[in-house]
């Protein structure tokens, strides 16, 4: 990522943290005033989301640095770790919200101020959706992995606020009907519905981060490298090759071991470097998002162990 994109990434993350701070304070205060557990949950979720966003900003700074003596392959692995923390936290919120909703229904529900809650939900639903689409559009230009997954939290919050608006608005109107007695169950029911709605976004963050932390090879990247190397096999008459790939956030780790015939007509190392450069250009991706190692050997002992990636799915 170039410096301009990095500055845009940092600006979006800072703005996101500031906006989430506004949601956190508003949700906590309104939740207490209206006696709504659902709104209070939204406020608490936003407070923890601020911490995650700060970690994202720190990660963004780290990934700009060169490798160090202690982290000799760079700091790319920090990105999936932060995503894992965000996904885990979101899943914990889902479990708590579902439990609290069930417990509330079993306890007979509770009364609350639907007017205050509805005004809160209307304001923050508009704010959340506006910011979500703004970040989504802006990130199309900078292509930030961190901003992309950070924006998932805004989708979750916007969905929460929209659900609260519809539910509280309906309950507020219902107060003036013969079904007003059902209003005590609305807050608990909303907690259960919101918990179910939050499961897909939580999995959308958690599953990719777990795969990257565990070292599951990205199939698309693997297939791309294989296609490139198959063409070079035919073009240069290599005996065989083995490629290994991994991804940490936006960074792509690629290692390729090429087996040459013992009588391969290479005159000097510079010629091998020229072939490396051709392979590098054919694989693509910006140099700051790629760690590429290409080795040549005439002995299979020095090649990585072959595998059948298809078995991993």
Range of the domain at 287: 219-312
Report how many domains make up the chain: 2
Please compute the mean of the pLDDT values over residues 162-176 and round it to a whole number.
83
Q: Please tell me whether residues 34 and 147 are part of one structural domain.
A: yes
Q: To the nearest whole number, what is the mean pLDDT of the chain? A: 84
* pTM reported for the whole predicted model: 0.70
More confident residue, 234 or 44: 234
Measured distance CA(264)–CA(69) in Å, rounded: 38
Within 10 A of 1 (CB to CB), how many other CB atoms are there?
19
Tens of pLDDT, residues 228-268: 999 999 999 999 999 999 988 778 999 999 999 988 887 78
* Domain CATH number, residue 159: 1.20.1510.10
Structure confidence at residue 313 as a pLDDT band (50, 70, 90): very low
Measured distance CA(305)–CA(256) in Å, rounded: 11
Q: Please tell me whether residues 62 and 190 are part of one structural domain.
A: yes
Q: Please tell me whether residues 91 and 161 are part of one structural domain.
A: yes
Q: Please tell me whether residues 19 and 79 are part of one structural domain.
A: yes
In eight-state DSSP terms, residue 176 is: T
Please compute the mean of the pLDDT values over residues 95-115 and round it to a whole number.
84
Q: Please tell me whether residues 18 and 148 are part of one structural domain.
A: yes
Half-sphere exposure of 255 (CA within 13 A, CB side): 9
- Whether the predicted pLDDT of 311 surpasses 50: no
Q: Please tell me whether residues 252 and 174 are part of one structural domain.
A: no
Kindly report the backbone phi and psi dihedral angles of residue 64, in degrees, each rounded to the nearest multiple of 5, phi listed first. -80, -15
pLDDT of residue 31: 87
Contacts 24+ apart (CB under 8 A), 140-143: 141/5, 141/8, 142/1, 142/5, 142/8, 142/9, 142/12, 143/1, 143/5, 143/250
Measured distance CA(195)–CA(245) in Å, rounded: 36
Structure confidence at residue 310 as a pLDDT band (50, 70, 90): very low
Strand order of the β-sheet with 251-259 is 240-248, 251-259, 290-297
Tell which of 214, 236, 261 closes a domain: 214
Please compute the mean of the pLDDT values over residues 91-102 and round it to a whole number.
85
Q: Please tell me whether residues 158 and 38 are part of one structural domain.
A: yes
Measured distance CA(83)–CA(207) in Å, rounded: 10
Q: Please tell me whether residues 110 and 204 are part of one structural domain.
A: yes
Tens of pLDDT, residues 16-42: 888 889 888 988 898 888 888 888 887
Tell which of 167, 187, 214 closes a domain: 214
Please compute the mean of the pLDDT values over residues 96-102 and round it to a whole number.
86
CB 2 within 8 A of CB 140: no
Please compute the mean of the pLDDT values over residues 69-91 and round it to a whole number.
80
- Give CA angle at 215 (300, 276), nearest 5°: 45
Burial class of residue 58 in the structure, from the number of CB atoms within 10 Å of its CB (0-12 exposed, 13-18 middle, 19+ buried): middle
Angstrom CA distances, 14 to 55, 135, 157, stand at: 11, 12, 17
Q: Please tell me whether residues 64 and 203 are part of one structural domain.
A: yes
- Within the chain, strands assigned E span 240-248, 251-259, 290-297
Please compute the mean of the pLDDT values over residues 162-173 and round it to a whole number.
83
What is the chain's Cα-based Rg? 26
Half-sphere exposure of 149 (CA within 13 A, CB side): 28
Tens of pLDDT, residues 117-165: 888 889 989 999 999 999 999 888 887 877 887 888 788 788 878 878 8
Structure confidence at residue 1 as a pLDDT band (50, 70, 90): low
Q: Please tell me whether residues 58 and 97 are part of one structural domain.
A: yes
- Whether the predicted pLDDT of 224 surpasses 90: yes
Tell which of 195, 214, 233 closes a domain: 214
Q: Please tell me whether residues 244 and 133 are part of one structural domain.
A: no
Please compute the mean of the pLDDT values over residues 89-103 and round it to a whole number.
85
What contacts 132, CB < 8 A, 6 or more positions away? 151, 154, 155, 158
Q: Please tell me whether residues 117 and 244 are part of one structural domain.
A: no
More confident residue, 271 or 156: 271
pLDDT of residue 242: 93
Closest CA to 195 of 86, 69, 91: 91
* Domain CATH number, residue 272: 3.30.70.1350
Angstrom CA distances, 244 to 34, 202, 218, 224, stand at: 56, 29, 10, 12
């Amino acid at each position: 990522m170039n410096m301009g994109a990095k500055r845009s990434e940092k600006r979006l993350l800072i703005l996101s943290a500031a906006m989430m701070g506004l949601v956190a304070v508003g949700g906590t205060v309104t939740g207490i005033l209206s006696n709504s557990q659902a709104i209070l949950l939204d406020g608490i979720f936003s407070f923890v989301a601020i911490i995650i966003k700060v970690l994202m900003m720190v990660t963004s700074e780290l990934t700009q640095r060169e490798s160090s003596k202690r982290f000799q392959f760079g700091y790319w692995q920090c990105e999936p770790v932060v995503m894992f923390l965000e996904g885990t936290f979101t899943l914990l919120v889902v479990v708590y919200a579902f439990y609290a909703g069930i417990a509330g229904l079993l306890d007979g529900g509770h009364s609350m101020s639907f007017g205050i809650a509805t005004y809160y939900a209307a304001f923050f639903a508009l704010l959340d959706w506006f910011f979500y689409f703004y970040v989504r559009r802006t990130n199309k230009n900078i292509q930030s992995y961190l901003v992309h997954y950070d924006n998932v939290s805004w989708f979750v919050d916007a969905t929460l606020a929209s659900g609260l608006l519809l539910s509280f608005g309906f309950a507020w109107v219902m107060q003036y009907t013969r079904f007003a007695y059902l209003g005590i169950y609305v807050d608990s029911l909303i907690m259960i519905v919101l918990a179910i709605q939050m499961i897909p976004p939580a999995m959308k963050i958690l599953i990719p981060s777990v795969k990257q932390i565990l070292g599951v090879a990205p199939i698309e990247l693997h297939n791309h490298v294989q296609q490139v190397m198959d063409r070079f096999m035919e073009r240069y008459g290599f005996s065989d090759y083995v490629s290994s790939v991994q991804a940490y956030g936006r960074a792509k780790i690629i290692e390729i071991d090429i087996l040459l015939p013992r009588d391969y007509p290479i005159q000097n190392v510079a010629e091998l470097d020229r072939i490396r450069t051709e392979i590098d250009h054919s694989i693509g991706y910006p140099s700051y998002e790629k760690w590429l190692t290409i080795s040549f050997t005439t002995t299979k002992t020095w090649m990585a162990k072959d595998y059948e990636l298809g078995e991993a799915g």
